[in-house]
Structure 1
């Protein structure tokens, strides 16, 4: 069973785009202006009336960037805007759109992995850990302003109430506070990290052109990119659909 994902490229308004996204867990959309508004246009075109929430787009500029390892996008941030609590990120964002605005002079190729296939291929005890063990999903990032003070407890593999499988992958995971099994959890998390790094090394790379939008099923497909020289700029938008 292959775990690699190499998305097809097609026009943003091509009716095949949603089918390919559902089939592979990723697709690259072309032909829209290299502007943040295009992320919302692409999301509306793909999901139509099933689009529930768009979270604020964020722009990421990196210079001589280090590798970004395999991950799924999720975070839990609520901010106060003029006395109104406003959610800027959600732990259960189910799709992510990444638009490449400025390509680096060298490096920066992308890679993606089918987390369903990958986790199913792991040793039985490690797969059981991912399914059965509660962890603090963002404990390592507790100092980020806007992140709730209450730990976000969850598991790496969970299911929506309609049966959709969620695969979580962040660098913020820690054992629960005062977990009596903390030593075992820490060791098993390290094993999991090693397995992910091995898989990442073997994945094929693919290049985005400036203006391309990489769309990912965030419950199924983890992604990352290689290190790069010079400046690279992307716009990112996460969202939730009715299926979340």
Structure 2
């Protein structure tokens, strides 16, 4: 028989480069969790009940009185799932309920909370990257890509323009920006496209492709970590990108995004 999934925690040690291996902390150690989150941009809380309520509790534990807005939690189940590449959660969805607009996602959500409701029998390990370190490294290894990320406007969700609920007005921004308080935002979304009729569209398409290639190239070197049933991964969505390996069998996670008082 195979060992239980919860006994398997591969490569949970810091590696070289921009990879992150979040520290596992019992959920009652609030001060330690906050210190690790501030230091690393990510932490895993253990011991919470395996329920959707636990995500809101985890957000309050790590962010405290800086927690501003919570968005509806969502459940994602994948069966024999293909890999999910590095990304930062970001979307802009407003729906009408009984004639009243309700925001379900925010383009500037700065907190992502992921609870493993059911781990995959095989595979499905997670990985994360310090995007600050990644883009800082590009200044010397790939100045052209660095200049694109910091200096070129794109339509952040243009590739998804036909989705209902997504605002018709293009959301224009750069991959690397700063909030009014000086906090750095590093975005990673598959929705980015050139602005309509941008004269530099060909260049932007090329750089978007090069960014995707660079992200995919770094993924194999990142340390892997496994979320057991009930474990909650808390991520600084402005700083960290995350993904997971492919898996066999069924895997279910609950996801909650939020904004703190530090968000844009």
Deviation per residue, 1:114-140 (Å, 9 max, x gap): 000001111112111101100010111
**Counterparts of 1:71 and 1:195 in 2: how far apart (Å)?**
13
Q: What is the CA distance between 1:9 and its match in structure 2?
A: 0.2
**Counterparts of 2:183 and 2:27 in 1: how far apart (Å)?**
25
Q: TM-score, normalised by structure 1?
A: 0.98
Corresponding residue of 1:234? 253
- Which structure 2 segments of 5+ residues have no match? 1-15
Contact 2:24 2:43 in 1 (8 A): yes
Deviation per residue, 1:213-234 (Å, 9 max, x gap): 0000000000000001010000
Corresponding residue of 2:116? 100
Moved over 3 A (4+): none
**Counterparts of 1:78 and 1:12 in 2: how far apart (Å)?**
33
1:169 to 2:169 alignment: no
Q: TM-score, normalised by structure 2?
A: 0.91
Deviation per residue, 1:187-220 (Å, 9 max, x gap): 1111111111111121111111110000000000
Contact 2:37 2:62 in 1 (8 A): no
The 5-angstrom pairing of residues 57-206 of structure 1 reads 57-122=73-138, 123-206=142-225
Deviation per residue, 1:30-75 (Å, 9 max, x gap): 1110100000011111222111000000000110111000000010
- Which structure 1 segments of 5+ residues have no match? none
Corresponding residue of 2:32? 16
Corresponding residue of 1:2? 17
